[in-house]
Amino acid sequence: MSVESRPIYYPNKAFAKEARIKNMCEYHDLMDWAKEDYEGYWDHWAKEKIDWFEPYETVLDESNAPFYKWFNGGKLNVTHQCIDRHLDVRKNKAAIIFEGDRGDKQIITYLELYRNVNRFANLLKNEFNVKKGDRVVLYMPMIPEAAYAMLACARIGAIHSVVFGGFSAEALRDRILDAEAKVVITADGAFRKGKPYMLKPVVDTALEEGCDCVEKVLVVQRNMEDVVWIEGRDYSYNELIDLEKDLCEPEVMDSEDPLFLLYTSGSTGKPKGVQHSQAGYILWAQMTMEWVFDVKENDTYWCTADIGWITGHTYIVYGPLAAGATTVMFEGVPTYPDAGRAWKMVEEYKINQFYTAPTAIRVLHKMGEHEPEKYDLSSLKVLGTVGEPIDPPAWKWYYEKIGGGRCSIVDTWWQTETGGHMISPLPGATPIKPGCATFPLPGIMAEVIERDGTPVEPGEQGLLCITKPWPSMIRTIWNDPDRFVKSYFGDAKKDGQPVYFSGDGAVIDEDGYITITGRVDDVINVSGHRLGTAEVEAAIKKHPHVAEVAVVGKPDDIKGESIFAFVVLKNAEDTFGEEAELVKEINQVIATEIGNIAKCDTIKVVPGLPKTRSGKVMRRILRAIAKGEEIKQDISTLEDPSIVAKIQTCVIG
Ligand code: WT7
């Protein structure tokens, strides 16, 4: 369906009246202000929103582009912004509402959060000698201690790097080593679908080889399962935490000091340590919480992401707390004990804003179409989606059955690198079209252009670029500034100057609405999880029988994309009659090297890969074959054009 033929849904009038941005006129006023006086615009918000210890000297320093500096010279502490400054007015307000997988509950007020974070900060500082600038890796389940740990690092100026709990020991080790982490914080494990699962053993394996940088491991008890204990290295959070004082002065941080690293996939095998800053990051995290979710004082907001991803950083921890909101944290999965779990929680906590991924919506729709009818969902005001395009059937169900036709859906486009939302509807202002991220947020100069900066014609696909630096942008790639420049500022230019290219393609319609069409680089999006084809290929190549491999994304009804691998074996006889066995083995290698999230849905043994004469694999052809499409593109430039038909036979056969 083309974007033009999509219906338009207008914001709820009663909601719009109370919203922070009430209509498109207000939106355009803000955008015009930013366009006319970019620095003045951001100066205004930085002064209004952040509780500075000391003022900054410059708003935006472009002298060393693309290593931009925002609010340089300013002093602050992100935990002061997220916790301390709220204590006067909301010390007894719930900061975090936690619900465990098995239904256990915990409410943490802002005052309690303050105490817990201070104690945790003291523990890291006094017992583990963690100092400003040190790296701390978190390998944690979705429990409040994960948030405390992140904030404790921020309090003392340590740089956290959260590694998603689904990554394997190998992947964890790579990230520990790249960041040269001094401390790892983990848990024994946690609960999923009513059963305990383990994390600490993965840390043990990761640290078996070559991680000399790691001095200590802090272990939070969650599922109480037995774990191996290494004396002198492993420490029990639960035994130590009560010995610490609940006051730890916040470290005075510069605006541009790193706040955290978060590893993400790119187009080479090695993940990139995306580095975020203090002031710019927290400013935009807070502003987007206020504008995009329009969270009000008495609201309860729930984002279902995992803290191992950027969504969990910005929209479970930093954004909601900076905005003084109540944020729900959920350990479990929305399909356990049944596909009504999420809706039951919405009813129980009277959730006002609900933010999740299209994959989750598709699963809940498929598994429990009528579940929402059993619950009172009338508290909901704003629904959000993130991570991948949402298809019209899922959108419609979300809008009608979850939102009761009353709630705006904010389809938020952004990335690990952008720190916060870039393109999204404003729930009280933007008329929305299903599956469309709509317009750039006020102050964000997102454009769909050709490589040379020419804006694309309506309906034509172009590169989704952000043509001016913004406060919450990636600052660099940890240990690899050259890669930072090459990855993001090498593809597109505007007025002769390199601009940030996201890696996504997009289309603008006649009304100026932006629809994301997906990655144009070698990155696959499986259930909203970002995986580099090169990363998966590097893992598969570790299988002793594999000579060559190319992986592509194949459209999938539930996951958005699934991984399809074309494998060339060293010896044709290697698999004879036992392809199923080989497939299992290859997926096992992937699980070990990266984690289960990167497993392939389809692995096909083929006689060769379609390569150009210069040896480049033509992935476009493989994508078409994976989809079962006819090959329309010119294959005469291939070194061996006949390979295409041979691959097709293997795939069909
Ligand atoms: C990639 C970024 C941003 C947090 C979660 C993922 C895709 C993101 C949308 C959306 C279509 C989207 C893009 C982007 N993406 N949001 N609303 N519609 N696609 O963060 O792992 O850094 O992945 O997710 O392809 O580049 P990430």
Same domain for 117 and 240?
Answer: yes
List pLDDT tens digits, range 327-373. 999 999 999 999 999 999 999 999 999 999 999 999 999 999 999 99
Same domain for 472 and 532?
Answer: no
Q: Is residue 315 part of a domain?
A: no
Last residue of a domain, one of 224, 254, 284: 254
List pLDDT tens digits, range 601-634. 999 999 999 999 988 899 999 999 999 998 888 8
Same domain for 123 and 244?
Answer: yes
Same domain for 625 and 555?
Answer: yes
Same domain for 513 and 558?
Answer: no
List pLDDT tens digits, range 189-198. 999 999 999 9
Q: Residue 393 corresponds to which amino acid?
A: P
Q: Is residue 470 part of a domain?
A: yes
Q: Which residues surround ligand 1 with Cβ inside 6 Å? A: 264, 309-311, 386-389, 411-416, 437, 502-504, 516, 518-519, 525, 528, 530
Whose C-alpha lies nearest to ligand 1, atom 14?
Answer: 415
Same domain for 512 and 575?
Answer: no
Same domain for 605 and 471?
Answer: no
By residue range, what is the domain housing residue 501?
446-519
Same domain for 562 and 641?
Answer: yes
- What is the band of 1 on the pLDDT scale with cuts at 50, 70, 90? very low
Pocket test for ligand 1, best of 260, 415, 597 (most atoms within 8 A of CB): 415
List pLDDT tens digits, range 423-459. 999 999 999 999 999 999 999 999 999 999 999 999 9
Q: Is residue 546 part of a domain?
A: yes
List pLDDT tens digits, range 537-588. 999 999 999 999 999 999 999 999 999 999 999 987 766 557 889 999 999 9
Q: Residue 432 corresponds to which amino acid?
A: I
Last residue of a domain, one of 210, 228, 254: 254
pTM of the model: 0.96
Same domain for 507 and 544?
Answer: no
For the chain, the average pLDDT equals 96
Q: Is residue 342 part of a domain?
A: no
Whose C-alpha lies nearest to ligand 1, atom 19?
Answer: 388
Long-range Cβ contact pairs of 259-262 (< 8 A, separation 24 or more) = 259/78, 259/154, 259/159, 260/150, 260/153, 260/154, 260/159, 260/160, 260/161, 260/162, 260/313, 261/135, 261/159, 261/160, 261/161, 261/179, 261/478, 262/161, 262/162, 262/309, 262/310, 262/313, 262/416
Same domain for 478 and 598?
Answer: no
Total tally of structural domains belonging to the chain: 3
Last residue of a domain, one of 504, 519, 534: 519
Burial of 104 (0-12, 13-18, 19+ CB in 10 A): exposed
List pLDDT tens digits, range 195-226. 999 999 999 999 999 899 999 999 999 999 99
Q: Which atom of ligand 1 is nearest to the CA of 311?
A: 4
List pLDDT tens digits, range 88-144. 999 999 999 999 999 999 999 999 999 999 999 999 999 999 999 999 999 999 999
Count the alpha carbons within 13 Å of 504 in the hemisphere toward its beta carbon.
27
Same domain for 154 and 218?
Answer: yes
Q: Which atom of ligand 1 is nearest to the CA of 523?
A: 25
Give pLDDT, residue 267: 81
Residue 66 is classified by DSSP as T
Q: Residue 15 corresponds to which amino acid?
A: F
Q: Is residue 24 part of a domain?
A: no
- What is the band of 383 on the pLDDT scale with cuts at 50, 70, 90? very high
List pLDDT tens digits, range 52-88. 999 999 999 999 999 999 999 999 999 999 999 999 9
Q: Is residue 585 part of a domain?
A: yes
Same domain for 120 and 210?
Answer: yes
Mean pLDDT over 522-542 rounds to 94
CATH of the domain at 479: 2.30.38.10
Q: Is residue 116 part of a domain?
A: yes
CATH of the domain at 583: 3.30.300.30
Q: Which atom of ligand 1 is nearest to the CA of 519?
A: 25
Give pLDDT, residue 578: 73
Q: Which atom of ligand 1 is nearest to the CA of 437?
A: 17
Distance in Å, CA 639 to ligand 1 centroid: 35
CATH of the domain at 240: 3.40.50.980
Whose C-alpha lies nearest to ligand 1, atom 12?
Answer: 388
Whose C-alpha lies nearest to ligand 1, atom 5?
Answer: 387
Q: Is residue 65 part of a domain?
A: no
